[in-house]
A and B are shown apart, each in its own frame.
Chain A
Amino acid sequence: MMNLYSWIMGIVGAICLTVLIDVMMQDGETKKYVKGITALIVLAVIIAPLPKLLNEGFEFDQTIQEYANTANEYSLNNDFIYAVNQEKADELSINSQYYLKQNGFENVKISCYVDYCSDFKLRLVNVDLSQLVINKNVENININDEIIQLVLKATGANKDQIVILN
């Protein structure tokens, strides 16, 4: 791009020189020859970069590399994204606790933790049953399994991500 700038300025300079000579010189035979020479100089300035352009072509690789390097400068604020994802996880924990309450399991403390990445991915779901109060008939029911199933439904996590704390 900078070569284009200097090329255009070179043409402008050559033409200005031509005009200056044309204006300064008196009419006569000498002026005709001088005008012819300056015209050739202008032509030479115009076509000077063309042989290089025809032989080597445009250099795109350097330009693309510059773009790629600059792309890395547009970096994400990963701390902010992690904070937002963790807020979503905290909201999910509260809602899951309400869901369990609706299904007869009160005072269950659920804590959801996310991965430090740009996506919302649950890393761990802690289910604290130390203060569990059961408000329904649980005969012939495995309480842990029942709670795990409900937490799976509420959080969308995988079974291996859920940790039951008694």
Chain B
Amino acid sequence: MTASQIYEVFLKADGKSEFRHVGALGAADNEMALLLARECYCRRAEGEQIWVVRRDDISSADSSETAPNRNKSHRHNDGKLVAEHRRQLREGS
């Protein structure tokens, strides 16, 4: 008996849409995972293509690693200063 493993399931709807995470399932191997993904997540053709990935094979970073990048104002520009300058030019003040 093979132990069941958790797979994360991604579906790509059609044409230009991206693969989206839709959920997970338990299966013994990749082939069974694809079969169950078709039966559990795609009964009404919600996806044109399916990816299944063993959760153990996913490397992840959480907010403790991504949070420092929330505070990098020099990587954004809201354009407010220039917009205000142009508005004043338009209004001739």
Q: Indicate, yes or no, whether A interacts with B.
A: no
